[in-house]
Protein backbone atom coordinates (compact mmCIF):
# COMPACT_ATOMS: atom_id res chain seq x y z
CA UNK A 1 0.00 0.00 0.00
CA UNK A 2 2.88 2.34 0.80
CA UNK A 3 4.34 1.89 -2.70
CA UNK A 4 1.01 2.79 -4.25
CA UNK A 5 0.92 6.02 -2.24
CA UNK A 6 4.45 6.89 -3.39
CA UNK A 7 3.48 6.21 -6.99
CA UNK A 8 0.37 8.38 -6.72
CA UNK A 9 2.34 11.24 -5.18
CA UNK A 10 4.91 11.03 -7.98
CA UNK A 11 2.14 11.01 -10.59
CA UNK A 12 0.69 14.21 -9.13
CA UNK A 13 4.08 15.94 -9.32
CA UNK A 14 3.61 17.09 -12.93
CA UNK A 15 6.83 16.92 -14.97
CA UNK A 16 8.46 14.48 -12.60
CA UNK A 17 5.73 11.91 -13.18
CA UNK A 18 6.79 11.32 -16.78
CA UNK A 19 10.37 10.77 -15.69
CA UNK A 20 9.29 8.47 -12.88
CA UNK A 21 7.10 6.36 -15.17
CA UNK A 22 9.89 6.22 -17.78
CA UNK A 23 12.42 5.04 -15.17
CA UNK A 24 10.03 2.42 -13.80
CA UNK A 25 9.40 1.12 -17.32
CA UNK A 26 13.13 1.04 -18.03
CA UNK A 27 13.76 -0.92 -14.82
CA UNK A 28 11.09 -3.45 -15.71
CA UNK A 29 12.52 -3.80 -19.23
CA UNK A 30 16.05 -4.35 -17.94
CA UNK A 31 14.79 -6.86 -15.38
CA UNK A 32 12.93 -8.76 -18.11
CA UNK A 33 15.86 -8.70 -20.57
CA UNK A 34 18.52 -9.86 -18.12
CA UNK A 35 16.63 -12.18 -15.77
CA UNK A 36 13.25 -13.44 -16.92
CA UNK A 37 13.89 -13.93 -20.65
CA UNK A 38 17.14 -15.97 -20.33
CA UNK A 39 15.63 -18.16 -17.61
CA UNK A 40 12.53 -18.86 -19.71
CA UNK A 41 14.70 -19.64 -22.74
CA UNK A 42 16.81 -22.10 -20.72
CA UNK A 43 13.69 -23.78 -19.30
CA UNK A 44 12.29 -24.19 -22.82
CA UNK A 45 15.55 -25.77 -24.01
CA UNK A 46 15.59 -28.14 -21.03
CA UNK A 47 12.01 -29.22 -21.73
CA UNK A 48 12.81 -29.88 -25.40
CA UNK A 49 15.91 -31.83 -24.36
CA UNK A 50 13.93 -33.98 -21.93
CA UNK A 51 11.16 -34.62 -24.44
CA UNK A 52 13.73 -35.67 -27.06
CA UNK A 53 15.11 -38.57 -24.99
CA UNK A 54 15.23 -41.85 -26.92
CA UNK A 55 16.31 -45.39 -26.21
CA UNK A 56 20.08 -45.70 -26.33
CA UNK A 57 20.90 -42.09 -25.32
CA UNK A 58 23.68 -41.75 -22.77
CA UNK A 59 22.63 -39.48 -19.88
CA UNK A 60 23.81 -38.07 -16.56
CA UNK A 61 21.33 -37.32 -13.79
CA UNK A 62 21.52 -34.26 -11.55
CA UNK A 63 22.78 -36.63 -8.84
CA UNK A 64 25.70 -37.64 -11.07
CA UNK A 65 24.45 -41.11 -12.04
CA UNK A 66 25.56 -42.13 -15.52
CA UNK A 67 23.41 -44.44 -17.59
CA UNK A 68 21.83 -45.31 -20.90
CA UNK A 69 18.14 -44.84 -21.64
CA UNK A 70 16.51 -48.26 -21.89
CA UNK A 71 12.85 -47.26 -22.07
CA UNK A 72 10.89 -44.00 -22.24
CA UNK A 73 7.66 -44.27 -20.25
CA UNK A 74 4.47 -42.28 -20.83
CA UNK A 75 4.38 -40.99 -17.24
CA UNK A 76 7.42 -38.65 -17.65
CA UNK A 77 9.84 -41.29 -16.39
CA UNK A 78 12.71 -43.22 -17.94
CA UNK A 79 14.19 -46.63 -17.31
CA UNK A 80 17.95 -46.29 -17.45
CA UNK A 81 20.60 -48.99 -17.40
CA UNK A 82 23.41 -47.96 -15.07
CA UNK A 83 25.44 -51.14 -15.53
CA UNK A 84 24.70 -54.34 -17.48
CA UNK A 85 21.51 -55.79 -16.01
CA UNK A 86 21.00 -52.99 -13.47
CA UNK A 87 18.04 -50.67 -14.15
CA UNK A 88 16.67 -47.56 -12.46
CA UNK A 89 13.44 -45.68 -12.97
CA UNK A 90 13.98 -41.90 -12.88
CA UNK A 91 12.03 -38.75 -13.67
CA UNK A 92 12.87 -36.97 -16.93
CA UNK A 93 13.32 -33.78 -14.93
CA UNK A 94 16.22 -35.45 -13.05
CA UNK A 95 18.40 -35.43 -16.17
CA UNK A 96 21.12 -32.79 -16.26
CA UNK A 97 21.09 -31.19 -19.69
CA UNK A 98 24.55 -29.62 -19.31
CA UNK A 99 26.30 -32.73 -17.98
CA UNK A 100 24.65 -34.97 -20.57
CA UNK A 101 25.68 -32.68 -23.41
CA UNK A 102 29.25 -32.55 -22.07
CA UNK A 103 29.33 -36.35 -21.81
CA UNK A 104 28.07 -36.80 -25.37
CA UNK A 105 30.42 -34.07 -26.66
CA UNK A 106 33.43 -35.79 -25.07
CA UNK A 107 32.37 -39.12 -26.59
CA UNK A 108 31.96 -37.52 -30.03
CA UNK A 109 35.39 -35.84 -29.75
CA UNK A 110 37.08 -39.21 -29.06
CA UNK A 111 35.64 -40.67 -32.27
Give tens-digit pLDDT for 45-67.
988 988 888 899 899 999 999 99
CA distance 96 to 75: 19
Query: Cα-Cα-Cα-Cα dihedral of 89, 65, 105, 52, to 10°?
Result: 20
CATH number of 54-110: 2.30.30.140
Residues in the chain: 111
Contact 57, 68 (CB under 8 A): yes
Give tens-digit pLDDT for 63-98.
999 999 999 998 989 999 999 999 999 999 899 888
Instruction: Name the pTM for this structure.
Output: 0.63
Confidence of residue 103 (pLDDT cuts 50, 70, 90): confident
User: For the chain, what are the domain ranges?
Assistant: 2-48, 54-110
User: For position 84, what pLDDT does the model report?
Assistant: 92
47-74: b (≥16 Cβ within 10 Å) or e: eebbeebeeebebbbeeeeebebeebee
Amino acid sequence: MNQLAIFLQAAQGGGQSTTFIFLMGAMILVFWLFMIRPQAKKAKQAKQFQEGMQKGDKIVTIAGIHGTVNKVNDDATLMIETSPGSYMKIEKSAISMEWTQNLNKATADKK
